[in-house]
Structure 1
Amino acid sequence: LIGNAIKFTDEGEVRVITQRQNEEYVQLIVEDTGVGIPEEDLERIFDEFRQVGCDGRRRHGTGLGLAITKKYAEMLGGGIEVESTVGKGTKFTIKLKKEIKEEGERE
Protein backbone atom coordinates (compact mmCIF):
# COMPACT_ATOMS: atom_id res chain seq x y z
CA LEU A 1 0.00 0.00 0.00
CA ILE A 2 2.76 2.42 0.88
CA GLY A 3 4.59 1.66 -2.37
CA ASN A 4 1.42 2.26 -4.39
CA ALA A 5 0.75 5.51 -2.55
CA ILE A 6 4.24 6.77 -3.35
CA LYS A 7 4.03 5.57 -6.96
CA PHE A 8 0.78 7.43 -7.62
CA THR A 9 1.62 10.64 -5.75
CA ASP A 10 3.77 12.91 -7.91
CA GLU A 11 3.20 15.91 -5.63
CA GLY A 12 1.86 16.20 -2.11
CA GLU A 13 2.20 13.66 0.64
CA VAL A 14 1.74 10.10 1.75
CA ARG A 15 0.71 9.50 5.35
CA VAL A 16 0.82 6.25 7.30
CA ILE A 17 -1.19 6.12 10.52
CA THR A 18 -1.63 3.31 13.02
CA GLN A 19 -4.29 3.44 15.70
CA ARG A 20 -6.36 1.32 18.02
CA GLN A 21 -9.89 1.06 16.75
CA ASN A 22 -11.14 -0.60 19.94
CA GLU A 23 -9.97 -3.32 22.34
CA GLU A 24 -10.14 -5.97 19.62
CA TYR A 25 -8.87 -4.24 16.46
CA VAL A 26 -6.09 -1.97 15.25
CA GLN A 27 -6.07 0.03 12.03
CA LEU A 28 -3.36 0.84 9.54
CA ILE A 29 -4.25 3.80 7.35
CA VAL A 30 -2.33 4.73 4.20
CA GLU A 31 -3.48 8.04 2.75
CA ASP A 32 -2.11 10.01 -0.19
CA THR A 33 -2.74 13.16 -2.19
CA GLY A 34 -2.16 11.38 -5.48
CA VAL A 35 -4.19 10.96 -8.64
CA GLY A 36 -7.06 9.08 -7.01
CA ILE A 37 -9.07 6.16 -8.34
CA PRO A 38 -12.20 6.64 -10.47
CA GLU A 39 -15.37 5.60 -8.63
CA GLU A 40 -16.27 3.07 -11.33
CA ASP A 41 -12.96 1.26 -10.71
CA LEU A 42 -13.16 1.06 -6.90
CA GLU A 43 -15.06 -2.24 -6.76
CA ARG A 44 -12.50 -3.93 -9.05
CA ILE A 45 -9.21 -2.77 -7.55
CA PHE A 46 -8.90 -5.85 -5.34
CA ASP A 47 -9.25 -8.24 -8.31
CA GLU A 48 -6.10 -10.15 -9.23
CA PHE A 49 -4.11 -8.73 -12.17
CA ARG A 50 -6.26 -5.58 -12.19
CA GLN A 51 -4.57 -2.24 -12.74
CA VAL A 52 -6.57 0.96 -12.81
CA GLY A 53 -5.76 4.61 -12.90
CA CYS A 54 -7.21 7.84 -14.08
CA ASP A 55 -4.05 9.49 -15.32
CA GLY A 56 -3.69 7.32 -18.42
CA ARG A 57 -0.20 6.25 -17.40
CA ARG A 58 0.49 2.58 -16.85
CA ARG A 59 2.60 2.16 -13.76
CA HIS A 60 4.93 -0.81 -13.39
CA GLY A 61 3.39 -3.70 -11.51
CA THR A 62 1.50 -6.94 -11.85
CA GLY A 63 -1.87 -5.94 -10.45
CA LEU A 64 -1.49 -8.37 -7.56
CA GLY A 65 -0.55 -6.08 -4.67
CA LEU A 66 -4.02 -5.01 -3.58
CA ALA A 67 -5.46 -8.51 -4.05
CA ILE A 68 -2.72 -9.98 -1.85
CA THR A 69 -3.12 -7.23 0.74
CA LYS A 70 -6.86 -7.92 0.97
CA LYS A 71 -6.32 -11.67 1.34
CA TYR A 72 -3.72 -11.19 4.10
CA ALA A 73 -5.98 -8.78 5.98
CA GLU A 74 -8.84 -11.28 5.81
CA MET A 75 -6.58 -14.16 6.87
CA LEU A 76 -5.64 -12.12 9.93
CA GLY A 77 -9.28 -11.64 10.90
CA GLY A 78 -9.75 -8.19 9.43
CA GLY A 79 -10.43 -6.42 6.18
CA ILE A 80 -9.60 -3.45 3.99
CA GLU A 81 -11.61 -0.44 2.84
CA VAL A 82 -10.85 2.27 0.31
CA GLU A 83 -12.03 5.85 -0.20
CA SER A 84 -10.84 7.85 -3.19
CA THR A 85 -11.49 11.05 -5.08
CA VAL A 86 -9.98 11.60 -8.52
CA GLY A 87 -7.44 14.41 -8.39
CA LYS A 88 -7.42 14.52 -4.58
CA GLY A 89 -6.10 11.18 -3.40
CA THR A 90 -6.86 7.84 -1.86
CA LYS A 91 -7.20 6.42 1.64
CA PHE A 92 -6.85 2.72 2.44
CA THR A 93 -7.82 1.49 5.89
CA ILE A 94 -6.76 -1.98 6.98
CA LYS A 95 -8.43 -3.35 10.11
CA LEU A 96 -6.65 -6.21 11.89
CA LYS A 97 -7.36 -8.17 15.05
CA LYS A 98 -4.91 -7.30 17.82
CA GLU A 99 -4.52 -10.94 18.79
CA ILE A 100 -4.25 -13.65 16.17
CA LYS A 101 -5.36 -17.11 17.28
CA GLU A 102 -3.15 -20.06 16.42
CA GLU A 103 -4.67 -22.71 14.19
CA GLY A 104 -6.81 -24.99 16.33
CA GLU A 105 -6.85 -22.54 19.26
CA ARG A 106 -10.27 -21.70 20.64
CA GLU A 107 -11.49 -18.16 21.20
Structure 2
Amino acid sequence: MSLDQQTEQDTDLKDHAPESAQTQRAREKLRRYFDDLDKKITRQALEKKSVEIHRWIARHAHHRVVLRSKTISLFDENQNTAKQSLRIAKIAQTLGNNLDKD
Protein backbone atom coordinates (compact mmCIF):
# COMPACT_ATOMS: atom_id res chain seq x y z
CA MET A 1 0.00 0.00 0.00
CA SER A 2 1.49 3.35 -1.00
CA LEU A 3 1.76 6.39 1.23
CA ASP A 4 -1.02 8.12 -0.75
CA GLN A 5 -3.40 5.19 -0.30
CA GLN A 6 -2.56 4.93 3.40
CA THR A 7 -3.15 8.67 3.88
CA GLU A 8 -6.48 8.53 2.05
CA GLN A 9 -7.52 5.50 4.07
CA ASP A 10 -6.57 7.20 7.35
CA THR A 11 -8.55 10.33 6.46
CA ASP A 12 -11.54 8.23 5.43
CA LEU A 13 -11.50 6.32 8.70
CA LYS A 14 -11.13 9.33 10.97
CA ASP A 15 -13.18 12.49 10.90
CA HIS A 16 -10.61 15.20 11.62
CA ALA A 17 -10.17 18.83 10.78
CA PRO A 18 -8.46 19.44 7.43
CA GLU A 19 -4.67 19.53 7.42
CA SER A 20 -2.95 22.85 7.69
CA ALA A 21 -0.88 24.17 4.80
CA GLN A 22 2.28 23.50 6.82
CA THR A 23 1.30 19.87 7.38
CA GLN A 24 0.47 19.45 3.70
CA ARG A 25 3.88 20.88 2.72
CA ALA A 26 5.63 18.58 5.19
CA ARG A 27 3.68 15.58 3.89
CA GLU A 28 4.57 16.46 0.28
CA LYS A 29 8.23 16.94 1.23
CA LEU A 30 8.27 13.50 2.87
CA ARG A 31 6.54 11.97 -0.15
CA ARG A 32 9.19 13.43 -2.49
CA TYR A 33 11.96 12.26 -0.15
CA PHE A 34 10.68 8.68 -0.08
CA ASP A 35 10.09 8.68 -3.83
CA ASP A 36 13.73 9.73 -4.32
CA LEU A 37 14.86 6.95 -1.98
CA ASP A 38 12.81 4.41 -3.91
CA LYS A 39 14.49 5.52 -7.14
CA LYS A 40 17.96 5.09 -5.59
CA ILE A 41 17.28 1.50 -4.51
CA THR A 42 18.13 -0.49 -7.62
CA ARG A 43 19.46 -3.98 -8.20
CA GLN A 44 22.86 -2.49 -9.11
CA ALA A 45 22.95 -0.37 -5.95
CA LEU A 46 22.10 -3.41 -3.82
CA GLU A 47 24.78 -5.52 -5.52
CA LYS A 48 27.34 -2.73 -5.03
CA LYS A 49 26.47 -2.46 -1.32
CA SER A 50 26.67 -6.25 -1.00
CA VAL A 51 30.20 -6.21 -2.45
CA GLU A 52 31.17 -3.38 -0.07
CA ILE A 53 29.87 -5.37 2.91
CA HIS A 54 31.77 -8.49 1.85
CA ARG A 55 34.97 -6.45 1.46
CA TRP A 56 34.49 -4.88 4.89
CA ILE A 57 34.01 -8.33 6.45
CA ALA A 58 37.15 -9.62 4.70
CA ARG A 59 39.16 -6.56 5.82
CA HIS A 60 38.16 -7.08 9.46
CA ALA A 61 38.42 -10.88 9.49
CA HIS A 62 41.50 -10.78 11.74
CA HIS A 63 39.35 -9.29 14.54
CA ARG A 64 36.89 -12.19 14.47
CA VAL A 65 36.77 -14.71 17.29
CA VAL A 66 36.86 -18.36 16.27
CA LEU A 67 33.78 -20.01 17.76
CA ARG A 68 34.39 -23.61 16.78
CA SER A 69 35.65 -24.44 20.26
CA LYS A 70 33.10 -22.32 22.13
CA THR A 71 29.44 -22.90 22.76
CA ILE A 72 26.95 -20.11 22.48
CA SER A 73 23.54 -19.97 24.06
CA LEU A 74 21.09 -17.15 24.25
CA PHE A 75 20.10 -17.86 27.85
CA ASP A 76 22.17 -19.80 30.33
CA GLU A 77 19.56 -19.94 33.11
CA ASN A 78 21.43 -17.22 35.06
CA GLN A 79 24.52 -19.34 35.56
CA ASN A 80 26.66 -16.32 34.67
CA THR A 81 24.79 -13.42 36.19
CA ALA A 82 26.08 -9.87 36.12
CA LYS A 83 27.52 -8.30 39.24
CA GLN A 84 24.93 -6.44 41.29
CA SER A 85 25.35 -2.67 41.12
CA LEU A 86 25.71 -0.59 44.28
CA ARG A 87 22.44 1.21 43.53
CA ILE A 88 20.50 -2.05 43.27
CA ALA A 89 22.20 -3.40 46.40
CA LYS A 90 21.07 -0.31 48.35
CA ILE A 91 17.51 -0.63 47.05
CA ALA A 92 17.44 -4.33 47.98
CA GLN A 93 18.78 -3.54 51.44
CA THR A 94 16.16 -0.80 51.93
CA LEU A 95 13.40 -3.15 50.84
CA GLY A 96 14.71 -5.85 53.15
CA ASN A 97 14.79 -3.41 56.07
CA ASN A 98 11.23 -2.31 55.29
CA LEU A 99 10.04 -5.93 55.24
CA ASP A 100 11.79 -6.63 58.55
CA LYS A 101 10.01 -3.65 60.18
CA ASP A 102 6.58 -4.85 59.05
The interval holding the TM-score normalised by the smaller chain is under 0.3
Higher helix share: 2
Higher strand share: 1
Structure exhibiting the larger radius of gyration computed from Cα positions = 2
TM-score (ref. length: structure 2): 0.21
